[in-house]
Amino acid sequence: MGYSRRCFVRLSLGSSLVDYRKNLYLDSCDREMKMLRPANNCSFVRAPVLWLTLVVTMLLVPDWVRGQRCLAQVRLDSMLAVDPDVRALYEEGREQVVTYLSQSRLPAREIAVIPVVFHIVYAEDDQNISREQVLSQIAVLNSDFRGLAANVGVVSAHFKSLIADAGIEFCLADTDPDGAPTEGIVRRQTDVPQIGLKYSFDNRRRIYHTELGGDDIWDPAHYLNVYVCEMGNNVFGEASFPNLGPADEDGVVMDYRSFGTIGSARAPTDKGKTLVHEIGHYLGLKHIWGNSQGCDSDDGIADTPDQEKPTSGCPSESRVSCGSFDLFYDYMDYSDDACLAVFTPQQVEYMRAVLTMLRPDLANGSSVCADTKKGIDFVDFIQLQGNPSYGQVYLEAQDSPIFKATVDILDVPGHHLMPAWQVFFPGKYPLPVETLAPGMYFVRLTAGNKQRIFKLIVTR
């Protein structure tokens, strides 16, 4: 069955199943089909496999997909349902990861540094986010993938032992695929609204292709490509699972309102956790509740408790489903950003195995963070805000290179009052002054071989 002469209608394989009335997109007619019916002056004609996709997807995807904030799992499940070759490739990849993890002794693990290129594709000025907003997101990625989330204190005592360090860090790429210097941020203006959800007549995602109004991907074997754009329909992000899909569409797509911690970021997705979640998918993790609601579905990770359904909001009390407490602090749940602070040890091992087996050239390549090689006195960028303390005190460095620092708090005689911890800048981090009695203290910061000491006054 051929295509119509006047226009082409593309059925997304689960990628835009936010609302079934809106999962068909018209490109040649340059507007969105609002119902599953022919539009004016357009013929709804498509190859039989797409009709099969529609039927299968409608049967497989439950009602709660409407309003879905992440489309990665929905797209994956739809692709696996209609294409045996895709399913075979996916299962082959998972088997490689499982086999690797079954080794009695895994190789020693070094810090994996992943170069990132951010493609800012904007139709309106407010979508053209600032470099500072990009850096605020990088800081969250580095903190959260090292088990050092700024909001880690929200995690209940029952689950604190599950907070794991993935040993993964991120940097802005300093070299493009042609070997030229870069800041790791590419900007492209488009005339396509909600381009993060749009497809061309020949089944390509427009965001990934310059000729379709997006921006061409950088070599996905060596760069993590993150697209920041308008998505809409209450979709916050989507990621490609490893070992699936075309290489020129292997990345992460983010809505500009759910990205970073400043600028266009809007509550409840204004703390940078959506990209942490999507990179979890990019590195092979499923949603914590599995493929569907109910206690018969599972994410395949042994140390995440079974969970009946996704969490909404930020629960103030423990929740129980499937016979155990729900881990609604896990990044692979749908809790508000304020609640998300946990990758478990086995989620970490799975992501590291995916890096080794399915994305082997991504980390620790030739494109690294340029700023780490310049010998900058990083601690000079840090300021202590809110001092003297009548409430919260912050360490802050917003307009700075990407770097990490160690923080410890001492009393006047020089005794350590709590274990030292690491933070990643640029960013803004609260100090736990609520545990300190009124008086004078010292905050010591160490970055590289440089130190800086602030005097801290705590009052009540």
CA dist., res. 291 & res. 61, Å (int): 9
Provide the β-strand partners of residue 456: 441
| 226 vs 426, higher pLDDT | 226
Residue 235 has pLDDT above 50, yes or no: yes
CA dist., res. 55 & res. 52, Å (int): 5
Q: Which percentage of the chain shows pLDDT scores above 90?
A: 52
Contact 329, 320 (CB under 8 A): no
H helix or E strand, kind and range, residue 50: helix 48-60
Residue 34's pLDDT is what? 30
| Structure-token pair, residue 307 | 């969970």
At 53, give phi and psi (nearest 5°).
Answer: -60, -45
Nearest to 182 by CA among 228, 115, 253: 115
CA dist., res. 97 & res. 277, Å (int): 20
What is the per-residue pLDDT across 410-419, written as a single tens digit (0 to 9) for each?
999 999 998 8
CA angle in degrees (0–180, nearest 5) for 337-341-343: 125
Return residue ranges of the chain for CATH 3.40.390.10. Answer: 72-357
Q: Which residues of 434-460 are buried (b: 16+ CB within 10 A; e: fewer)?
A: eebeeeebebbbbbeeeebebebebee
Return residue ranges of the chain for CATH 2.60.40.3080. Answer: 374-458
| Structure-token pair, residue 413 | 């005689």
**Amino acid identity at 281:** H
For residue 294, CA distances in Å to 288, 307, 326 come to 12, 7, 13
324 SS3 class:
strand
Find the length of the chain.
460
Our measurement of the distance from residue 329's CA atom to the centroid of its chain's CA atoms, rounded to an integer in Å, reads 15
Q: Which residues are catalytic?
A: 278
| Structure-token pair, residue 225 | 């490509």
57 SS3 class:
helix
Residue 12 has pLDDT above 50, yes or no: no
Give the number of other CB atoms < 10 A from CB of residue 296.
Answer: 11
Contact 286, 244 (CB under 8 A): no
271: region left, alpha or beta (phi > 0 left; psi from -120 to 50 alpha):
alpha
What is the per-residue pLDDT across 366-415, written as a single tens digit (0 to 9) for each?
555 544 444 467 788 899 988 887 777 889 887 777 788 889 999 999 99
Given the DSSP bridges, would you call strands 224-229 and 252-255 parallel, antiparallel or unpaired?
A: parallel
Pick the CATH number of 374-458 from 3.40.50.720, 3.40.50.10090, 2.60.40.3080, 2.60.120.10: 2.60.40.3080
Peptide bond into 430 cis (omega under 30): no
Domain 72-357 classification at class level: alpha beta
What is the per-residue pLDDT across 310-348, written as a single tens digit (0 to 9) for each?
999 999 889 999 999 999 999 999 999 999 999 999 999
Q: Among 55-69, 264-278, 312-326, 418-432, which is the least confidently predicted range? A: 55-69
Contact 403, 378 (CB under 8 A): yes
H helix or E strand, kind and range, residue 11: strand 9-11
Our measurement of the distance from residue 249's CA atom to the centroid of its chain's CA atoms, rounded to an integer in Å, reads 16
| Structure-token pair, residue 20 | 């079934």
CA dist., res. 251 & res. 224, Å (int): 6
